[in-house]
Structure 1
Amino acid sequence: MEIGLIRGLGTLVVFIAFIGVVLWAYNSKRKKGFDEAANLPFADEPKSDQREEKDSRSNNE
C-alpha cells in the first residue's frame, strides 16, 4: 500500500466519523439535553424582573 492511499483512507474514516457526530448532536431526542446544557452558565443569574426591581431601587436612593 502506498502512503497516499493510507492517508486517503484515514481521511475518509475521519470524515465519516465527523458526519456521525454531527448527526448524533442534531438528533431531536438529544436536542433538549443539549439546550439545557447550553443554558447552564445562565442558571445562577437573577431573573430579569428581580434585576430590574433592584436597579430601580438603587436609582431612587
Structure 2
Amino acid sequence: MDYGTYRGIYTLILLILFLGIVYWAYKKSSKKDFDKIAESILDDEDVNGTPHKKESSNGND
C-alpha cells in the first residue's frame, strides 16, 4: 500500500468518527442529559456541594 491509500483510510476513519460524534450529540436520548448539564451551571452550589450564602443586593452592609 502506498502513502495515498493510508491517507484515504485515515480520512475515512476520521469521517466515521466525526459522524459518530454528531449522531451521539444530536440523538433524542442525549437531549435530556445535555439539558441537565446545562442547567447545572446555574445551580447555586459551591464545589463542595454547600449552598452559597446569599448576600444582600441593596449595598447596605
Q: TM-score, normalised by structure 2?
A: 0.67
Q: Number of paired residues?
A: 51
Higher helix share: 1
Residue 16 of structure 1 aligns to a residue in which SS? helix
Structure 2, unpaired ranges of 5+: 46-53
Taking only aligned residues, the RMSD between alpha carbons, in angstroms, comes to: 1.9
Q: TM-score, normalised by structure 1?
A: 0.67
In the alignment, structure 1 residue 35 sits paired with structure 2 residue 39: no
Q: Which 4+ residue blocks in structure 1 deviate beyond 2 angstroms?
A: none
Structure 1, unpaired ranges of 5+: 46-50
Instruction: Look at both structures and tell me which one has the larger radius of gyration over its CA atoms.
Output: 1
